[in-house]
Chain A
Amino acid sequence: MAHNDSFFSALQQLRQLPLDVRTITLGINVADCHNHSLHALCESLYQRIIGRAERLTNVCGEVSSLLGVPIMQRRIVVTPIDRVAQGFDSGDMVNVARTMEGAAAQVRVDRIGGYAADVQHGMSSSARELIASLPTALSQTVRVRAAVHVGTTESGVNMDAISLLGRILKETAQADAEKNGDAAAKLVILANNATGHPHLTGACLGDGWGDLVVHVGIGAASIIRHALVERLAIEPNSPLHELAAEIQTAVFQSTRTAELVGREIATRLGADFGSVDVSLAPTRRPDDSVAALLSLLGIEQVGAPGTATALTLILNALRAGSAFASCSAGGYSRIMLSVLEDASLAAATKSKELTFDQLCMAANAGSGGLDLVSVPGDTDVATLAAIISDQVSFAVLNRRPAAIRIIPVPGKRAGEGVTYSGMMNDAVILPIRGTGLSKEFIERGGRLPPVR
C-alpha cells in the first residue's frame, strides 16, 4: 500500500471539520462625532460608519472565498451612544437609532450595536433619555441592538435602573406587539461588562480599543458535536475527561481557523485585530445546540440533574482549548442558552420539558444569564425587574459577565405558542412561579453594594 492508515486517518479527521466563523464584528470609534446639532451628529455618525465599514461585507466575502471558511454574520459596534449623543431628548435619540439602522443597511451588515448606556453607578441625563427612547427606537429599527449595563462586581448594581428597565422592557415589547414583542429581543441587560464585551448582542466598542478593530466570534456547537460523535463512535463508553479533551481539541481547531480569518480581514481593512470569542451559540443548522451536546454527554434533557456539571465541563474545555489556540482569545467564552434561537430548546419549551426555573439554573452554570426567553405578557413590571436583578446578582457574585434578554410577549399567557420570523424559532411561553411577590423589594430602589 502506498500510504499507511495513520496518514489517512489524520486526513480523515481534518476532512469534515465543520469550520466556520459565526460573527465578524467591526468596532468603530465614533466618539468624536459628538455635536450639539442633531442633524450634524447624525450626518457625521452616518458618514463615519459608511466610511469605515463600506468594504466590510466585500472583504468578508473575499476572505471567506479565499480561505474556504463560511462567515455567518457581519456586525458593527460603535462607541456607546449615551456618550456620543449628549444633550438630546428621547425623540432625538430615536433619530440616532434610525441613522445607525440606515448606515448598517447601507453597508449590508446584519446587526449594529452600541445603542447603549452605562448606568452601573448612576444615570446621566443622556443615558436616561436613551433608555426612555428604547421602545420606539427598537420597534422602528431592524438591525439596531441596544444594551444597558447595570452593574459590576466592583461597583455594585444600580437597582433603580433595573426597576426602570422592567417597565421599559414591557413597553418595548408592547410597542412591537404585532411581532410578538420582537423589539424586546433586541434589548440586552448587561452586568460585569466593564471593558465592553464585543461579542454580545448590543455590545458596544468598549474602552481601550483603537479606532477600528475586528473581532471574530465562533459558534463551536457544530465542531464539538462532530468531535463527540466521532469519539463516541469509536468508544461509546468514553469517560468524561476524554470527552473534555475531544471538546478542547475541537475548540482549538475552530479558534485557530477563526483567528486566521479575523486577522486576514483586519489586515485588508487596515484595522487592529481584537479578540477571538468561542461560545456555544446555536446556529441555523439542525442539532447545533447545547441540548444536542448534553444529550451526547448523556444528559437526555436540558435542566435534568447533572446539567450544571455537564455545562461546567463544556465551558472549561471551551476556555482551555481557545486559550491554548490563541493569544487573543478573549476570555468571554460562555454557553448561550438562547431559547428562541435554539431549535431544540424551543422544542423543549413546547413539550413542557423545560421550565423557567430549570432554565434559570442552567443559565447560571456556565452561561451568561437568561437569553431570549419569552414570558407571559401580563408579567408585572416588578417581577420582570426582579428576574433581571436575580440574573445580574448571580453574575456579580460569580464575577462573570451576564447578558439577559427577556421578551414579555404582549397579550400571551403561559403555555401559549409564540412565533417569530428570522433567526428565531417558535416556542411556548414559560410560566413564572411567584409573580407579583417581589414588588415591595424592587420598589425600594437604591443600589446593591459591591461584592467583597
Chain B
Amino acid sequence: MTVLAANRVGILAALTNALDELRGNMLDVSQAVIQDYFTMILAAEFPEERDPEVIVDHIRAVCRSYGAEVALKDPDDETVFEIPEEPTPRQRYVLTASGQDRPGVLRFIAHRLAQDDIVLMDLQGMRHESDHTFLTSMELAFPPGVDALKLRNDLDKEFRPDGITIALQHRRVLAALAHPEPVGFNTVSPWPSRGTDGS
C-alpha cells in the first residue's frame, strides 16, 4: 500500500487509527517526507473478508483533512514477481555519488548496475538548490563475482570529468567505521538480511 498525504501533525495518528479500525496489522514500513508530502509505503495484513475497496475508502475518509491518496495491491494477485527457488547469496554495498547536478547520472548508474545483475535495496537522494549539487546514496546487493573496485573505477572514470565523486563501500567496512567495538564483533552480519545474505 502506498499513502501520499500533506505533511501535517497528526497524519500518522490518523492513518494508524484507520488501519486499527480495519483490524489491519503492519508488516513492513518505509516512510519519508519528500518536499511537503508525507509518503509511506507499507505492507499490511487484513482479515480475509476485508474488501480492498473498503480498506482504501476507509483510509481516505479518515485522512480526508490531509488529502490522502491511497493505492493498494495484493501480492497474491501479481504476476510480475520472479521468485527464484534458491536466492543467490549477495554482498551488500553502499554507493554514494555527489557533486554538481546534471541529468542522466542516476540513469547511467542504474544501467551499469543492471548489467552486473546488482539489486537495488534502498535509495536516497537530495539536491541542494543553493549550489545545484546533489548527493545520492544507495544500498546494493551484489551477486558473487562482481569486482567492486572495478565498478567504482568505471563509475569514477565516467563521472570524474563532471566533478562528480563516487564512493562504493562494503557494508562491513561501513560497520567497522561506525561501531567502536573490535572488528569481527560487528562486521560479520551487520544487517538482518531481507532475502539476501548480508554478510
> Within 8 Å of chain B (Cβ to Cβ): is A358?
no
Query: In the bound complex, what is the Cα–Cα distance between A70 and B149 (angstroms)?
Result: 7
Whether the pair B176, A2 counts as a contact (CB closer than 8 A) is: no
CA distance A67 to B124 in the complex (A): 22
- A-chain residues with CB within 8 Å of residue B96 when the two chains form the complex: 11, 14-15
- Residue from B35, B169, B174, B176 having most chain A Cβ neighbours under 10 A: B176
CB distance from B176 to the nearest CB of A (A): 4
Chain B residues with Cβ under 8 A from A17's Cβ?
Answer: 167
A68–B149 CB distance below 8 A:
yes
- Residue pair A67, B126 in contact (C-beta under 8 Å): no
- B133-148 interface bits toward A, Cβ cutoff 8 Å, 1 = contact, 0 = none: 0010100000000011
Residues of A within 8 A of B148 (CB): 65-68
Looking at chain A's contact residues, is the secondary structure mostly helix, strand, loop, or mixed?
helix
Nearest opposing residue in chain A for B148, CB measure: A68
- Complex Cα–Cα for A11 and B124 (A): 11
A residues 245-260 near B (Cβ < 8 Å) are 253, 256-257, 259-260
Kindly list chain A residues whose C-beta atoms are within 8 Å of the C-beta of B183. Answer: 256, 259-260, 263, 326
Contacts A12-B98, A64-B149, A66-B148 given; does A3 touch B170 at CB 8 Å: no
Q: Which A residue's beta carbon lies closest to that of B152?
A: A68
Provide the residues of chain A in CB contact with B174, threshold 8 Å. Answer: 14
Inter-chain contact A65/B32, CB cutoff 8 Å: no
Within 8 A of B (CB), among A105-125: none
A256 close to B167 (CB less than 8 A): no
CB atoms of B126 and A68 under 8 A apart: no
Q: Which of A12, A70, A256, A327 contacts B176 (CB 8 A)?
A: A256
Residues of A contacting B34 in the complex (Cβ-Cβ under 8 angstroms): 1-2
Residues of chain A with a CB closer than 8 A to B137's CB: 11
Q: How far is the CB of A404 from chain B (nearest CB, A)?
A: 33
B150 beta carbon closer than 8 Å to chain A: yes
* B176 proximity list for chain A (CB < 8 A): 256-257, 259-260
B47 → chain A closest CB, angstroms = 34
B184 closest partner in A (C-beta): A263
Contacting residues, chain A, for B33 (C-beta < 8 A): 1-2
Residues of A contacting B32 with CB < 8 Å?
2-3
Chain B neighbourhood of A11, CB < 8 A: 96, 135, 137
Nearest-Cβ distance from residue B116 to partner chain A, whole angstroms: 12
A16 at interface (Cβ–Cβ under 8 A)?
yes
Bound-complex Cα distance A2 to B37 (A):
9
Q: Which residues of B contact A324 (CB under 8 A)?
A: 180
B127 closest partner in A (C-beta):
A1
- A17-B167, A19-B173, A65-B148 known; 7 other A-B pairs, CB under 8 Å? A3-B124, A8-B135, A14-B167, A14-B169, A14-B177, A70-B149, A257-B177
28 example contacts (A-B, Cβ-Cβ < 8 A) are as follows A1-B33, A1-B34, A2-B33, A2-B34, A3-B32, A3-B126, A8-B126, A11-B96, A11-B135, A12-B98, A14-B169, A14-B174, A15-B98, A16-B167, A19-B173, A65-B149, A65-B150, A66-B91, A67-B170, A67-B172, A68-B93, A68-B149, A68-B173, A69-B149, A256-B176, A256-B177, A259-B183, A263-B183
Across chains A and B, which 8 residue pairs bring their CB atoms closest together, nearest first? A68-B148, A65-B147, A256-B176, A15-B167, A15-B96, A259-B183, A67-B170, A2-B32
